Structure 1
Amino acid sequence: MDNRTNLDDYLAGLGISEADEDEVTPPPPAPDASAEALPSEGLLNEDPKEVLERFLNALTSRMDDTLSVSVQQAEDALEAEITGENAAKLAGRDGRLLGAIEVIAYTVLAKQAGRSDLRVRIDVGGFRKRQADTLTKLAERLAIQVAKSGEPHELQPMPASERRVIHIALKEHPDVMSESVGEGASRRLIIRPRHG
């Protein structure tokens, strides 16, 4: 199986091609486009894990053929790990590239396997693990500060995945609680005293 062709098929199925990069709206598919570029009824029954694994292998082989991909099924998500000497570069600045890869992977999963109910979590070179550790330590420091001062602390807007880490870190904390406020990209966390 040619991974490069597969990626082109996925991107074509999403209405994306290398030629579309500068265009605002993608052109309609060419009349001679491969039938495999669009999902068919049979593909919707494909194993989501296999779909995600195939997509990520195709993507990483185009970027760096020394990278390897492993995908595990979790309770409500598929969790992928991309490893290799240069894997951490896929995180991009502040994890933005990794976030974009997750969005595309989720879209591919929804289109190819018909599974929009599964989350997609991808880690590259341990980036997400290090980020979660940093956020957990931040949550612990802020919890102490809020518990001592009795005053709530509002954090800067952050993605849902980062808010989730802090919510989990403080879920069982006896003195403080966390809540999300705001809408869209402005959604942020407030850590406040639990009693009072």
Structure 2
Amino acid sequence: MDNRTNLDDYLAGLGISDADESAPPPPAPDAPQAAPALEAAHEDPRAVLERFLRGLTSRIDPELSVTVREVEDALEAEITGENAARLAGRDGRTLGAIEVIAYTVLAKQAGRGDLRVRVDVGGFRRRQADTLSKLAERLAVQVAKSGEPHELQPMPPAERRVIHIALKEHPDVTSESIGEGAARRLVIKPRHG
């Protein structure tokens, strides 16, 4: 068995198959006029994301619930339930993978590659943002006192963004991202003049 077939079967089970896009399957004779997933190019992005996340979470834990809302240029989804936080995975890696797949599904099925997708599970992202904001404030005080810049370890764009926002209006320090790709990191430095 080749891996493509197994992946196609799995994706089809999630309702995101692209098996033979040139010829959509004929509708069943007794089926209501439901549009196949492949013809969802004009479907509401929020509905596409919600359907995908509900399909995914129902296979992991049927007790999980999903809410999706549209904000500016992004869709934000919240997965809640007793065991939702476990979906974050180690250091949020599983959650990051869910976001990448959700973005891909949204781009493919709704034709909306311009929308960002943010997913939170059990408040993980919210707690992480609070922790990063507090770290930013502590480092800002340190940098302001010492007058020396402080370089953080490489971090994902979403985490850098939280720190940039936390320090945006700070009177004594400024933040800047440096480096490329996975090595991109943030530097907090004194604000001069």
Which one of the candidate residues 109, 112, 116 is aligned to 1:112? 109
**1:17-56 per-position Cα deviation (integer Å, ceiling 9, x unaligned):** xxxxxxxxxxxx58xx97488723xx11100000000000
In structure 2, the residue matched to 1:79 is 76
Q: Is the 8 A contact 1:7 1:59 kept in 2?
A: no
C-alpha distance 61-151 of structure 1, shift in aligned 2 (>3 A): same
**How far apart, CA to CA, are the structure 2 residues paired with 1:8 and 1:73?**
23
Query: Unpaired runs of 5+ in structure 2?
Result: 1-9, 26-34
**1:81-102 per-position Cα deviation (integer Å, ceiling 9, x unaligned):** 0000000000000000000000
SS at match of 1:120: strand
In structure 2, the residue matched to 1:122 is 119
Report the aligned-residue RMSD.
Answer: 2.1
2:14 equivalent to 1:8 = yes
**How far apart, CA to CA, are the structure 2 residues paired with 1:134 and 1:5?**
35
TM-score of the superposed pair, with normalisation by structure 1: 0.83
**How far apart, CA to CA, are the structure 2 residues paired with 1:5 and 1:133?**
35
Q: Is the 8 A contact 2:14 2:55 kept in 1?
A: no
Whichever residue aligns with residue 155 of structure 2, its letter is M
C-alpha distance 79-60 of structure 1, shift in aligned 2 (>3 A): same
Larger Rg: 2
Give the paired residue count: 174
Superposed, 1:40-189 pairs within 5 Å as 40=39, 43-189=40-186
2:171 equivalent to 1:191 = no
**How far apart, CA to CA, are the structure 2 residues paired with 1:154 and 1:37?**
50
C-alpha distance 103-195 of structure 1, shift in aligned 2 (>3 A): same
SS at match of 1:39: helix
**1:101-121 per-position Cα deviation (integer Å, ceiling 9, x unaligned):** 000000000000000000000
C-alpha distance 128-91 of structure 1, shift in aligned 2 (>3 A): same
CA shift at 1:122, angstroms?
0.4
**How far apart, CA to CA, are the structure 2 residues paired with 1:118 and 1:124?**
20
**How far apart, CA to CA, are the structure 1 residues paired with 2:175 and 2:140?**
9
In structure 2, the residue matched to 1:19 is none
Query: Unpaired runs of 5+ in structure 1?
Result: 14-28
